[in-house]
Amino acid sequence: DTAVSQTPKYLVTQMGNDKSIKCEQNLGHDTMYWYKQDSKKFLKIMFSYNNKELIINETVPNRFSPKSPDKAHLNLHINSLELGDSAVYFCASSQEGAEQFFGPGTRLTVL
């Protein structure tokens, strides 16, 4: 009965590789988000998306792209991984105007 789930939980990969992180929510929410938490614990919005509009934080490199096959899923694709991409990535979802629920996070390590 997990509300927001992410896979994988851990991802270790080499610089230059392309990887994806999957997110699913079973709450029926209309909006999903991706946040990045760096080694200093700063949490920063990367994307917010509903079935009408994608909003991209201007600081996010275009190597990062969200893909939403349906309302319950928002996956994160990352091309040409760099050392600085190492972080914990959290997916979240909310119903319009209400509380955001976070997934368990994916710890990405780029070697």
Total interface residues for another protein by CB under 8 A: 25
How far apart, in whole angstroms, are the C-alpha atoms of residue 105 and residue 70? 20
CB of residue 67 vs another protein: minimum separation in angstroms?
18
Rule CB under 8 A: is residue 33 a binding residue for another protein? yes
Q: Is the dihedral of CA 64, 34, 66, 7 positive or negative?
A: positive
- Choice between 35 and 64, CB closer to another protein: 35
How far apart, in whole angstroms, are the C-alpha atoms of residue 12 and residue 92? 22
Among 10, 42, 67, 77, interactor with another protein by CB under 8 A = 42
Rule CB under 8 A: is residue 99 a binding residue for another protein? yes
Among 21, 23, 24, 48, interactor with another protein by CB under 8 A = 48
CB of residue 21 vs another protein: minimum separation in angstroms?
14
How far apart, in whole angstroms, are the C-alpha atoms of residue 36 and residue 3? 19
Q: Per CB under 8 A, which of residues 79..98 are in contact with another protein?
A: 90, 94, 96-97
Mode of pairing for the β-strands spanning 54-56 and 19-25? unpaired
How distant is the alpha carbon of residue 59 from its chain centre?
A: 15
CB of residue 66 vs another protein: minimum separation in angstroms?
13
